[in-house]
Amino acid sequence: MIAEEHWASKGPVSLFMWRKRKTASPRNRTPIVLVHGSSTSAIPTFDLQVPGQPDYSFMEWLAERDFDVWAMDHEGYGRSTITAGNSDIACGVEDLKAATEVIARESGSERMHFYGLSSGALRVAAFAQAAPERVERIILDAFVWTGEGSPTLAKRKEGVEQFRANNRRPIDHAFIRSIFTRDEPGTTHPAVMEACAESQLSFGDSVPTGTYLDMTTKLPLVDPTKIPASTMIVRGEHDGIATVEDLLEFFRLLPTGDKRFAILPGVAHCTPLGVNRKLMWEAVLNFVS
């Protein structure tokens, strides 16, 4: 396995990028970019190593199937520059523009597949709308469109004034565990929750508030009629971030004739780290192959 560190520049902001490949020239030449959500950065989400629990790295699983796999810490997350900004969805689109310049240069491919999780799915959808020339296929996992009827967002709206007043919010072990347990206990192994928390907290005890503020005050942020890319929407059976009705209406409005909608049993919000994660992994593999 070839693992490489890269950096993208967005003005004064340095963005950490992580790349994994089985060989120097992967058979599946279109790179796939994994885009993290609001509370955990790239490696804790997509390249997690769990003691006693093998095979939790989505990056390695895809690389073993001969893909060129990339992930990035968005501004204010992980090893990327922490700024005075709140790293909202619009900021994430600019991050992806900078990152794709690096990926195109290093891989030789001008177009890429994109998988986004939660607010990462919003970043991917917004990027696909803003820069369609870079996008081959997109997977929107734990996505939300209007937010209508979402129990998770209804609860999160209680903190709107805090999100407006502060560009960062505190996180700790209990908070990270709650990401995995709030919808349906038992969908994630306890050792995985602990490993994710340890990995994320090694970067610090706070993350930006921008995506939380966007998701509680600004939805909808994307227009499905302006996304030409082939699209798959993935939803965990127990995910509370969006209703099925909200997602199906977004799906209906997508103009592409190449689109899929998958509801995965025994899965909650954080699909890549769930007990049934390989249902999603296999669905993604099928879609991008």
Give the tokens for residue 72. Answer: 């990035």
Phi, psi of 67 (to 5 degrees): -100, 155
What's the CA gap between 63 and 65, in Å, rounded? 5
The burial class, CB within 10 Å (0-12 / 13-18 / 19+), for 248 is: middle
Region 230-239: mean pLDDT is 97
What integer is the mean pLDDT of 130-139? 98
pLDDT digits (tens, 9 = 90+) for 89-118: 999 999 999 999 999 999 999 999 999 999
Q: Which two tokens stand for residue 87?
A: 């790293």
pLDDT in tens, 198-218: 999 999 999 999 999 999 999
pTM score, whole prediction: 0.97
- Burial (Cβ within 10 Å: 0-12, 13-18, ≥19) of residue 91: buried
User: What pLDDT shows up at residue 7?
Assistant: 98
Residue pair 70/103 in contact (Cβ under 8 Å)? The answer is yes
Percent of the chain with pLDDT over 70: 100
Q: Quick: pLDDT tens for 251-268.
A: 999 999 999 999 999 999
Neighbours of 85 (CB within 10 A): 15
> What is the predicted pLDDT for the residue at 29?
82
List all residues 6 or more positions away from 246 whose beta carbon is below 8 Å from its beta carbon. Answer: 144, 145, 146, 147, 148, 149, 150
Report how far residue 122's alpha carbon sits from residue 91's, in angstroms, rounded to the nearest whole number: 12
Domains and their CATH numbers in the chain = 2-288 (3.40.50.1820)
pLDDT over 90 at 87, yes or no = yes
Query: What pLDDT is stored for residue 248 in this prediction?
Result: 98
Cα separation of the two ends of the chain: 20
224: nearest Cα among 248, 245, 204, 242 = 248
What is the CB-side half-sphere exposure of residue 288 using CA atoms within 13 A? 31
Closest CA to 246 of 118, 146, 116: 146
